[in-house]
Amino acid sequence: MHKLFCMSWIKKYNSPLVIAGPCSAESEEQVLQTAHQLKNSKVSIFRAGIWKPRTRPGSFEGVGSVGLPWLQTVKKETGLQTAIEVATKEHVEQALKHDIDVLWIGARTTVNPFTVQEIADVLQGTDKTVLIKNPVNPDISLWMGAVERLSKANITNIGLIHRGFSKYEKGKYRNPPEWQIAIDMQNLFPDLPMIIDPSHISGNQELIFEVTQEALDLNYSGMIIETHINPEKAWSDAAQQVTPDVLKQIISKLVIRKKTDETDEFQQKMLKLRKQIDAFDENLIQVLASRMQTAEQIGQLKKEKNVAVLQNERWAEILQKMIVNGSEKGLTKNFLETIFKAIHQESITHQEKILKI
């Protein structure tokens, strides 16, 4: 089924595709000034938030449909195509009425199959390009489901937007990218363009370039970057927006890499290194299996002595020691925490099985 999709629609744009514009359309003047400053650049599509689904009421929630004619003027005066977020079937109907070129389904909407289906039903029979952001929570099935619902409505111009995932613990990113989820999605739908949204992942201007470059290194097809003529005075998400000039600087510094190198030297060296990786992976599996066998022995001893499975002090001690040891060997704290928390959970699962026997 996945082979029904194709990337032909994206080939008409610059490579990589650049979508840019303000988080929110605030006034016709602001929208047009931003668009004209992006004209004659690498930007192919002008984006602006018309309806803004906010986490909590009371924040600016968009100018609404009054802003749609502003985008029509953008297209007329600059030649840029236009893009907005749609979250209801009414939004889609208004977007179609005003000939918006690209629609994207936001992260909060992707989590709701009922709404996605309503959007798909309204779009059936159109040739609009629809981009689907990953759901807020790290659930790849919801992302897949949105693609499949649009496909069944005969929407063929589909793309994916990776905007990161919500997390209770705040760290470096506003929405941690969880790159592996996006990679898995690419493997499931290899013919769908994947576009990075570094603005929402970063939450601040300083990380925009870093996140975008990492995405391009992973063969992403483009980027959607929030761009405002005066970010400090933006009505929403001021910290993560950049000026048109800064955007142009970011784009100029990006390195576009080849997917591969066909020379014999490269291929032979890569084959050798990949064999080493395969051997390390096999060793890791064996070590992990042996570790779980020991965990089961611990579980048996705890069962005999009626001792609880979870030993918090011991676990905290192990985690801290592994972070220190791993950091000394060039491994990041985030990676070490993720992998050892997963190992610990698997150990608990093995011990729980022993207690139930």
Which run of H or E residues covers position 353? helix 333-356
pLDDT at 80: 97
pLDDT at 353: 94
pLDDT at 126: 92
**Burial tier of 305 (Cβ tally within 10 Å: 0-12, 13-18, 19+):** exposed
Overall pTM surpassing 0.75 (yes/no): yes
CB 201 within 8 A of CB 175: yes
Q: Which residue has the tokens 């993560």?
A: 240
- Backbone phi, psi, residue 305, to 5°: -100, 5
pLDDT at 55: 67
List Cα–Cα distances, 256 to 197, 209, 214, 220, 277, in angstroms.
17, 13, 11, 10, 26
Instruction: Write 303-309 long-range contacts (CB < 8 A, 24+).
Output: 303/354, 303/355, 309/348, 309/351, 309/352, 309/355
pLDDT at 5: 55
Low-confidence residues of the chain: pLDDT under 50: 1-4
Amino acid at 88: T
pLDDT at 2: 45
Domains delineated in the chain = 2-253 (3.20.20.70), 264-356 (1.20.59.10)
